Structure 1
C-alpha cells in the first residue's frame, strides 16, 4: 500500500516509524512532516485543511490516509477524504466532537452511563465564577475546546480558578467545564475502533505537568511509560463500562467512531473513571506504545476504516517502552526556538522522535515547544528508562527541559542497562 500520513509532530514520526515495519506498506508519504520523518518517508507541503489534503491524497493515489493531529479531524478531513473514495483512519467531524467539545463529551458520557467526574458546563463567565466559588477545593477547570492538552487547570484556591476562567472566557464563544478533582493513578488506554468494536492497545501513563512531582502548568505531555501495570480486572472494566458503551452510544447517535479512541482515565477508589476522551493517538503516548506494536499498523487502520477490525490483528511485543520529552525553554508558554540540535546515533532498540524541529541552512534546530522524544525498549520499565536517561545528556540542547521522574509515580526507578 501507499500510505499518506497527515501531521508533523513526534506522534506522526512514531506512526511513520511503525508503518516502516508494516509488511503491507510499500511507500509512505507525509504532509507536512518534519526532518526526522523525512528520513523515513517522502514529505510534501500541503495546506492542512480538508479539501487540500483530499486533493493531495488523490494526486498521490494513496491507498490509505492516517490522520495524526486533532485539528484536521475536528475540521472534517475524514468526511472529505471519504467523499473522495479514499480509505481514511480517523473519526468523522461529528465523531471527533468527543474530543473537540468537552462539554458535549461530558454530556454524552452522562447519556450513556460512562463513569466520569461530576461536572457542570458553562457558556459565560459570571455563572461559572459563581459555581466555582461554592465548590470544594481542589477543583478542575477545563477549556471545552481544543487546546493541545494545555487547557486544564487544577485549582487549589479560588484565585487560580478565577484566573483560569477569565482566561477561557477571554475568547468569544468559549465554554468551560468545571468538575470535581479525582484522586488516583492516571492511565491512558488507547483502542483501535472500527465503528462497532474497540480493541485495546497496551495501557500507558503520561506525565502532564512541566515540572517533576507533578508540579507546574499542564503540557501536552512530558513522558510516558508503557505498559502501565493495569490489572486484567481493570482492563475488562474499562472495556465493559467505558469503551463498549462509547462505541454503542456513538453508533446509536448516528456518529459511529472509527480511528483511535483514547480514554484518559483515573483509577479511583470507585473504579476507572474518564478524565477525558481524545479522538486520535496520544502525543507522546504514541512514541511509547507504537514501538511495541507487532501488528501491521496499515492493515489495522484499513480494517478499522472498512469496519472489519479483528482483535487478532492487534499484537504487541513483550517487554516495556519508555519515552521522555525534551522541551524548549519557555514551554508550555512561548518556546525559545532556533537552538542547534546534534543527534547521536542510537541502537536498534531506541528512537529519537522529532517533533518541534526544522532545518535552517542544513542545521537541525528546535522549532517548537516539545522538540524531541527519546524512547527505548527493554525487558522492564526500569531498564527502558535507564537507557533513555543515559542517552539524554548527548541529546540535550541549551536550556532543554525534561522531567527526571518519569515512572516514579508508580515506584519505577531507572536502572542501568
Structure 2
C-alpha cells in the first residue's frame, strides 16, 4: 500500500519513519516533508493547506491511506475532502476537529459532558474581558485565544496586570490574528501537566501510554509557551489506575458527547491534563498526535502502526487488541533556532547529524529543516527532535543529550532539563 503523510514537522517525520517499517507499505509520501523525511520517505512539494492538490496527488498515486498530521488542515476539512473523493484518510472530520480549532467549543463541550476542567468565561472583545478582570479578585488566570495559534495562544498569568496585557495582545492588538476574535479566561490550575493520547474509531478507544510535554521555553518551566521543547514517555506521574480513570471520566464521555452533538470523532484524541490535588483536569484537547509527544511514543511502539490506523479508519479498532511497546522509556529533546518562540534566523547549515545517527537507540527527527545546495539547514523555530531509548528515564535522557552534543548550527539551543520531573519522581 502507498501511504501519504501530510505535514512537515517532527510528528510527521516520526509517522513516516514508523509507517515505512510496515511490511504492508510500498511507498511513504510526505507532503511537503522536510530534510529528515527526504531520507526516510519521498517528499512531495504540496503545502499542508492545499487540500485540492493533496486529494489529486492521493488519487493519481494510488494512495491507500492518508494521515493528516497538523491541526490546521484537519480544522480546514482535509479529511472530509479526501473521503468525499472516495479516498481513505485517518483523522477527524472538520466538524469534529473544532474540538481543537475552537477553545470556546471545547470548553462548552467539556461542561456539557461533565468532564473535569477549569472554570471559565468567554469574551468577544478586549473591553468586556478587561472589565471582568478589573472587577474580580486579583487571582492567577489563563488567557486563551479561541482559534489556532500554533501552540502560542495560551498565556499563563500570575496576576491581573499580566492578564490585562494578555487580553490586549490577543483581543486588541490581534497578535494571533483572527484566532483572537474570541477569548477564554479561566482559572489557573496548579499541578504537573501530562498528555494522554488515544486512537479511536468513534466506538472503540486504544489509550496510549501517558507522556509529558515541556511547553515553556526555558529550564524550570520559565519563559513563554512554545509548541513544545521536549517530551518523554511513559511518565511515572500517571499511574495505571489514574490512566484508567482518565479513560473513564475524560476520554469516553468526550467521545459520547461528540456523538450526541452529531460530530462523531475518529482519529487521535489528545487530552492535555493538569494533575491537580483534586485529580486530573482537562486543560485542552488536540485532535492529532502531539508534537513532540509523538516522537517518544512511536520510538517505543512495536506494533505495526499501519495496522492500527487502518483499523481505526475502517471502524474495526476492536480487532486490534493490546499494542506492543518497548518496555524502555524514550526521551525527546527539541533543538530550536535562536529567538524561538519569537523571530529567528533561517538557513544555517546543521552539522553533526551523521555523528548523532551513529549512536545506538537514537533517532533524530527533523521538524524545521530543508535541504539547500545539498546541505541540511534550519528553516523553522523547532528544528530537531533528538529522541533516545534507555533502560531508565535517566539513561534515555543522558543518551538524548549525548546526541544533542553532536549537533551544531549557529544559534542552536535546547532546554537542559527535559524529563527531570520523571527522574525526581523516581
- When the two structures are superposed, what TM-score results if normalisation uses the length of structure 2? 0.94
Offset, 1:399:
1.8
Aligned to 2:45: 45
Distance between the aligned counterparts of 1:144 and 1:411, measured in 2? 35
Offset, 1:411:
3.6
Q: CA RMSD in A?
A: 1.5
Query: Tell me, what secondary structure is at the counterpart of 1:120?
Result: strand
Aligned to 1:378: 390
- What pairs up with 1:397-416 in 2 under 5 angstroms? 397-412=409-424
Q: Which of 249, 252, 259 does residue 267 from structure 2 map onto?
A: 259
Residues 1:322 and 2:331 are matched in the alignment: yes
Aligned to 1:152: 154
Offset, 1:413:
10
Q: Which of 317, 322, 346 does residue 309 from structure 1 map onto?
A: 317
Contact 2:394 2:423 in 1 (8 A): no
Residues 1:200 and 2:207 are matched in the alignment: yes
Distance between the aligned counterparts of 1:39 and 1:361, measured in 2? 16
Contact 1:328 1:401 in 2 (8 A): yes
- What pairs up with 1:114-263 in 2 under 5 angstroms? 114-133=115-134, 134-169=136-171, 170-171=173-174, 174-229=181-236, 230-263=238-271
Give 1 or 2: higher helix fraction: 2
Query: Tell me, what secondary structure is at the counterpart of 2:54?
Result: helix
Contact 2:138 2:160 in 1 (8 A): no
Unaligned runs of 5+ in 2: none
Residues 1:357 and 2:359 are matched in the alignment: no
- When the two structures are superposed, what TM-score results if normalisation uses the length of structure 1? 0.96
Offset, 1:117:
0.6
Unaligned runs of 5+ in 1: none
Query: Tell me, what secondary structure is at the counterpart of 1:251?
Result: helix
Contact 1:224 1:285 in 2 (8 A): yes
Distance between the aligned counterparts of 1:175 and 1:315, measured in 2? 43
Query: Tell me, what secondary structure is at the counterpart of 1:379?
Result: coil
Question: CA-to-partner distance for each residue in 1:171-222, whole Å, 9 max, x for gaps?
Answer: 3561111111111110000110111222111110000011111000000000
Aligned to 1:5: 5
Distance between the aligned counterparts of 1:289 and 1:135, measured in 2? 41
Offset, 1:398:
2.2
Distance between the aligned counterparts of 1:347 and 1:407, measured in 2? 20
Distance between the aligned counterparts of 2:369 and 2:240, measured in 1? 39
Offset, 1:371:
0.5
Query: Tell me, what secondary structure is at the counterpart of 2:59?
Result: helix
Question: CA-to-partner distance for each residue in 1:343-365, whole Å, 9 max, x for gaps?
Answer: 12333411111110111211111
